Structure 1
Amino acid sequence: MRSYYLSTALAGAAMAFVTLPAAAQGISDNIVKIGILNDQSGVYADFGGKNSYEAARMAVEDFGGTVLDVPVQVVTADHQNKADIASNIARQWYDTQQVDTVMELTTSSVGLAVQALSKDAKKITINTGAATTELTGEQCSPYGFHWVYDTHMLAVGTGGALVEAGGESWYFLTADYAFGYSLEENTANFVKEKGGTVLGAVRHPLATNDFSSFLLQAQSSGAQVIGLANAGADTQNAIKQAAEFGITQGGQKLAALLFTLAEVHGLGLDAAQGLNLTETFYWDRTDETRAFAKRFQERTGAMPNMVHAGTYSAVTSYLKAVEAAGTDDSDAVAAKLRELPVHDVFAPNGRVQANGRMVTDAYLMRVKAPSESTAPYDYYEIVATIPGDQAFLPAEQSGCPLVE
């Protein structure tokens, strides 16, 4: 590592001949620190959790462990799905630990709160865990970026597939916070645009254990599709309890609007078979994704879902932007993040819009039956590829004030 200091006795004579230290090149404190802030103990612990931290560490190691000749360090913390706790951690990281960027940020209320705080602090956030389109919509930030997925993409993918398959009437079972509202609204609008109808909705608390009353309301609506506008363990529990009520046996379909490989694994193929879902990454899609997934599994014991692979991509892209900018100054790095293409194992042909939305292809999946699965984590059949320009809103339609 280059030293910040020159001997005062030699400084005057040597200044003209010494290579400038990293700080003079633009690295603020001779280290680049990346914070992974997410749920590590609650309903979304498998969705992102500690495995996102491992994905970030993998990205740093694959980058070489340094950028502009200074070390890169990854720190992590559990925000417990609480916006106030997340904001306090981020503020402490910025004020006392010289953290340069915060990523992952599962839970939309957390993502919005930390993005707003980071905007004031002029710190970059790259959200790989939350879903709300508000992150790149009306509440966008010049320092805020949204990787991996959002509620519009989920509505186009899973919602669109079920409408086209004949699911014209919908009833929503929705998590009672920003993410659930956004996912319900985006999917409902898409259903209506396709000629379908929305018969109603019921909202449940985050991390509830008893879905019986909510499922009975959805069942009694007579809707052809019950849209689960929730995620993580909430979706798993809703699907399990729906089976106990015989909802799918009665002819109604369940739409798991945000469901990933981690939750399918936790639920098991017996219960998850036949579900349609949408992810922007599947480990068994190409030779490159399989090689990445094997390395990831060796250190975590699990195959990566889109959040884990997307966090790897976000860290890699941030380091490339720092390198290209020649500094960790947030304005310069943000400009490079918008300028540079995204070519990695997660997004082979990605690009970042003016509002911070990273656009990449999405994949509509069908969960296999147990008899169709030939190996551990062989869970998906790719039904369709949704081009990024169809999966995500154009920046000019996002409502982001940054977009002219």
Structure 2
Amino acid sequence: MKGKFGLALGFALSLLATTSLAEAAEGPVKIGVLTDMSSLYSDSGGKGSQIAAEMAVADFGGSVLGQKIEVIGADHQNKPDIGANIARDWYDTQGVDVIADVPNSAVALAVQQITRDKNKIFLISGGGTSDLTGKACSPNSIHWTYDTYALAHGTAGAMVKQGGDSWFFITADYAFGHALERDATEEITHEGGKILGTVNAPLNTTDFSSFLLQAQASKAKIVGLANAGGDTKTSVKQAHEFGLTNSGQKLAGLLVNIDDVHALTLDIAQGLIFTEGFYWDANDETRAFAKRFMAKDGLMPSAYQAGVYSAVLHYLKAVKAVESKDTQKVLAKMHATKVDDFFSHGGYIREDGRMVHDMYLLQAKTPAESKGEWDLDKVLRVMPGDEVFRPLKDGGCPLVKS
């Protein structure tokens, strides 16, 4: 009996050692937060996105597969070639398994292709073009927080229904801006509105005067800002200085984050209607996360940052469940498991890579309505994900079975 017990014990220890060696051979899980650390999207993403990823790792427990989880960050400088080079180096030489965030759709599209080529995982929070789950979709990517279709469907659709049936666009001249204008135009015309004109503005421009003059001259009821980050702040401020809204025109911020409203102040931002994937003051769970995040970052979390947290946590849960960081096993588990956290309860990942969850139609409060520094927005409507995101059949993703 002793001999049989000894053999069994030896076999068990050998199996345990083999498993531990296999886990060690895979190396630690390594997460790269690729974002804008220094320019127009740095408040919405930036170091806050890295903090969000680190919070997710800490809340998960800090380790998986017997090893400590690592988080690194880098600045893509809003240049696709720089972002692509960082992604390639991370995958080839630094052992990164998953890249998260990537505001700037042009950079996100470049990183998406490299991620697919290297068979890694891309968790997109900051990048917005709906092409990421459309014609450019990838089996290795999950588009987590928002996209241009949802923004357009939420904001433009609501404003046309309120009588804003003529539009002029000021559009950021790169992939995100053009996709946002395109998706908003489709929604506006579908609802019976019309487009009176459009003008392209260089990314990170400091002078919107000529673009605003064209918008005023168009007599459009709505001036649609198909931009984001610092461009949104600058264009809204200068529209206020021009007295554009005093003449009866309204501004539609097609992508506005909490940090944008805070920087603008309610004196300027009041009345803006916009669509978000996350709002810090939506419920007790979001408020609890926001309080913890603000203690580390000094600002309330943006939708980008909250999305990074949620996506990274979901990824780590999948790694633990399949007991491997094998890309295809982890992706399959992520797709098969509903998202359950403060960001979304019941969110799910479609075959085109879209994570479907509720979105918020928000309006910036008046100064009189606000009860504190960050009491900036009110929820006009919670929009179900199946309603606000593009139908699976309409995206043109080659991965979708007809």
TM-score band, normalised by shorter chain: over 0.9
Residue pairs, 1:261-276, within 5 angstroms: 261-276=258-273
The answer on 1:150 being equivalent to 2:150 is no
**Secondary structure in structure 2 of the residue aligned to 1:372:** coil
**Aligned equivalents of 1:99, 1:343: Cα separation in 2:** 25
> Contact 2:20 / 2:66 at 8 angstroms: preserved in 1?
no
**Aligned equivalents of 2:388, 2:24: Cα separation in 1:** 36
Residue pairs, 1:317-336, within 5 angstroms: 317-336=314-333
Between stretches 299-308 and 180-189, larger displacement belongs to 299-308
**Secondary structure in structure 2 of the residue aligned to 1:349:** strand
Deviations 1:2-37 (A, max 9, x none): xxxxxxxxxxx9666330455655565330000000
Question: Per-residue deviation at 1:68?
Answer: 2.4
**Percentage of pairs with the same residue:** 51
Q: Which amino acid aligns with 2:390?
A: L
Q: Which amino acid aligns with 2:51?
A: E
**Aligned equivalents of 1:340, 1:326: Cα separation in 2:** 15
Q: Which amino acid aligns with 1:141?
A: S
CA RMSD of aligned residues (A): 1.4
**Secondary structure in structure 2 of the residue aligned to 1:40:** coil
The answer on 1:361 being equivalent to 2:358 is yes
Deviations 1:211-252 (A, max 9, x none): 011111111111110100000010100011111211100000
The answer on 1:116 being equivalent to 2:113 is yes
| Equivalent in 73, 78, 102 of residue 105 of structure 1 | 102
| Equivalent in 369, 376, 381 of residue 379 of structure 1 | 376
The answer on 1:134 being equivalent to 2:125 is no
TM-score of the two chains, using structure 2 as the length reference: 0.95
The answer on 1:17 being equivalent to 2:13 is yes
The change in CA–CA distance for 1:397 and 1:26 in structure 2 (over 3 A counts) is farther
**Aligned equivalents of 1:17, 1:319: Cα separation in 2:** 27
> Contact 2:23 / 2:66 at 8 angstroms: preserved in 1?
no
The change in CA–CA distance for 1:357 and 1:23 in structure 2 (over 3 A counts) is farther
Question: Per-residue deviation at 1:161?
Answer: 1.3
Name the residue aligned to 1:70: 67
Deviations 1:233-272 (A, max 9, x none): 1010001111121110000010000001011111111110
Question: Per-residue deviation at 1:341?
Answer: 0.4
> Contact 1:25 / 1:327 at 8 angstroms: preserved in 2?
no
The change in CA–CA distance for 1:27 and 1:205 in structure 2 (over 3 A counts) is farther
TM-score of the two chains, using structure 1 as the length reference: 0.95
| Equivalent in 57, 72, 86 of residue 83 of structure 2 | 86
Residue pairs, 1:212-227, within 5 angstroms: 212-227=209-224
Please, which runs of 5 or more residues in structure 2 have no aligned partner?
Answer: 1-8
Name the residue aligned to 2:198: 201
Name the residue aligned to 1:392: 389
Question: Per-residue deviation at 1:200?
Answer: 1.4
